[in-house]
Amino acid sequence: MSYLILVRHGQSIWNLEKRFTGWVDVDLTENGKSEAKKAGELIKKEEIEIDHYYSSFQLRSKNTLKLIKEILQDSKVFNESWELNERHYGALTGLNKDEMKVKLGEEKVHQFRRSWDLRPDPLDKKNPYHPINIDTYKEIPINQIPDTESLKDTYERVFNFYKKEIKNKISKNNILISAHGNSIRALCKYLFKLDENQISKLEIPTGNPLLINLDEDKKIINCKYLDKERAKDLVVF
């Protein structure tokens, strides 16, 4: 038996400003830091020894994990993987979601945010928000850096990472992943065997650990959000 804990980073600066963030490397708000610390306290109460920690390359994910580890008083080095990054929102990056609803209509914006295989227009490579212009990603081969992504694209890179790095460890190790709404959504699609419609409806709250209990065959025994007041509906598995 083992545990997999999935934590979406605490509220970021652009979450607060309702902007499409994607690969732009913004940090946590003060509220986001508080959410991360509370996540750490909730995990600590479970008395689970974490064997491996993972985060994306992005500040909001890494700093959430650092705050959680401080609460757990665990000095283990954590692994950073760009494959756990948030979905790239292409030409929508940096734009205000409410303003785009007025301009494009709520239905179109919802499609861009939740549809399975719809990609926004590519982000111009000269745009300062493009990942090739952000120092955080200078170690990623340029041919692997996207201009835009669908949820399907995000799923494929997250799943490939999970299959390569985590799948063989999970039956005998407790693992904590600090990532993003869409990268966690992608993991949940695989773990809960969701179809394309189910995954589009899955909401992932910030800073609320999802505790998943697995048996030796990597089958889910049960799962729950640790902060019950901020929990979202879970799929039936």
Separation between Cα atoms, residue 161 and residue 84, nearest integer Å: 8
Structure confidence at residue 106 as a pLDDT band (50, 70, 90) = confident
The pLDDT, as a whole number, for residue 199 is 86
Per-residue pLDDT at 228 exceeds 50: yes
Domain boundaries, the chain: 2-89+151-230
Residues in CB range of 119: below 8 A, 6 or more apart = 90, 148, 149, 150, 153
For residue 165, pLDDT beyond 50: yes
**Mean pLDDT value across residues 144-156:** 97
- Cα–Cα dist 219/12, whole Å: 33
The catalytic residue among 86, 88, 149, 180 is 86
- Show the tokens assigned to 203: 């909401």
88 as an active site residue: the answer is no
Q: Do the Cβ atoms of 157 and 98 come closer than 8 Å?
A: no
Whether residue 236 is predicted with pLDDT greater than 70 in this model: the reply is: no
Question: Contact 229/23 with Cβ under 8 angstroms?
Answer: no
List, as one string, the DSSP characters of 31-70: HHHHHHHHHHHHHHHTT----EEEE-SSHHHHHHHHHHHH
The answer to whether residue 9 is catalytic is yes
Q: What is the CATH number of domain 2-89+151-230?
A: 3.40.50.1240
Give residue 13's identity as a one-letter amino acid code. Answer: I
Does residue 237 carry a pLDDT above 70? Answer: no
Average pLDDT over residues 6-12: 98
* CB-count exposure of residue 150 (10 Å: 0-12, 13-18, 19+): buried
pTM: 0.95
Poorest-pLDDT segment among 44-53, 130-139, 215-224: 215-224
For the chain, the average pLDDT equals: 94
